[in-house]
Structure 1
Amino acid sequence: MNIRIQNLTDTHLSDFLTCPHSFWRKYIKKKRSSLNWREKMEQTIQRKVLEFFSHPMGNRSFIWTPTQASNQTIANHLLRSLKEDCHRSVPIFVYKKFSIPIPDWDIHITTTIPLAFWDDHGNFTVKKFLLDDTPEIMESWIFLCIYFCHLAFDQIPAQIELVNLVSGQMTVRTTHQTDIVTSKQYLHLLKSSITDPSQYFYDMQNISH
């Protein structure tokens, strides 16, 4: 018996890769809990990015008074990263959520593109802010972004920038057309893992608990 999921999101991928058992409780058993620090921080980051780009060019900033030293570091890295984008054109997207069906897989792929910019050559760059630099989670988002953009826009980003707001480091991934096939294979494999009960329980009798 496989588990049926109707939607595959970037959050699903990161949560499953972080802890399959927590994924099971949260998304399959629907046992919701209060937002953790990471989820609250991600919401704050989104609000501040939207606030930043709501101001006219040359006067962009945001107001954030963090209550902890670690949060202050995140705020500083976020503002510095955003100001580095001031030389770019107006963003195409700022935390824009998209969803597209994949009939062959019987699911929708849903993702939020935090930032995207055109360049002078008709290509675009996607930028995402992270609170960790776990390689598996970074790769999963890159693959999701590439395949989603291919399906939704018939064009993939020329590069993807991942900014770790804890360390301040940025990882830049230059993409190629061959990444489309790799991304599709990766996402299909991960989707198969998510819908496979053996990924959550060794004893199949426990699946009802």
Structure 2
Amino acid sequence: MNIEQARFNMIEQQIRPWEVLDQDVLNLLAIVKRENFVPAAYRNIAFADLEIPLPGGERMLSPKVEARVLQELAIHKGETVLEIGAGSGYMAALLAHRGRSVTTVEISPELADFAKQNLAANGVTNVEVITGDGALGWDQGAPYDVICVSGGLPVMPQEFLEQLKIGGRIAAFVGAAPIMKAQIITRVDEKQFRVSDVFETLVAPLKNAVHPSQFKF
């Protein structure tokens, strides 16, 4: 396989048509080598338009979803980022190239180790991988400029909102099957938040994610 041709095709045929037009984001996708973050058995489909299996039954988000989220978050160089769901470390690497530092929280010790190894091997030094349950965010280090939730949330917990700086943004996949909404939530002030629906998708929920109350009155 011609890796550079496959990478070019991924960017031009999958990602750009999905309204990812920020040239800095497109350039970053050429710099951060996606194939170095997928399990070796799946390296030949690293650039395919699908979710790649990870250890423990988890999956990487598809390239176009990762790229669109990265674009919509519009991270600046001095910003601190929290990611929930490290996975392979690839999204954390993308976030780290745009922000000042990234804290990524992964509930699976196996995946946390996988992410640490991948980040170290690719020279990404401004990411801290923490093994823990981020279903309610991660208040150590809060408030953050940016929170990126790399898994589904049936509902948005209040804790995430409280861990965001004024002017900060959350990217999250909110709702349940068959259709979830990729949202950017911006903290306007102490009490107000602006919600933008960016696209519809379907991703697996975070482990221990908060679910809507089932009580009926």
More contact order relative to length (CA 8 Å, sep ≥ 6): 1
TM-score, with length taken from structure 2: 0.30
Which structure has more helix as a fraction of its residues?
1
Q: Based on CA coordinates, which of the two structures has the bigger radius of gyration?
A: 1
TM-score, with length taken from structure 1: 0.31
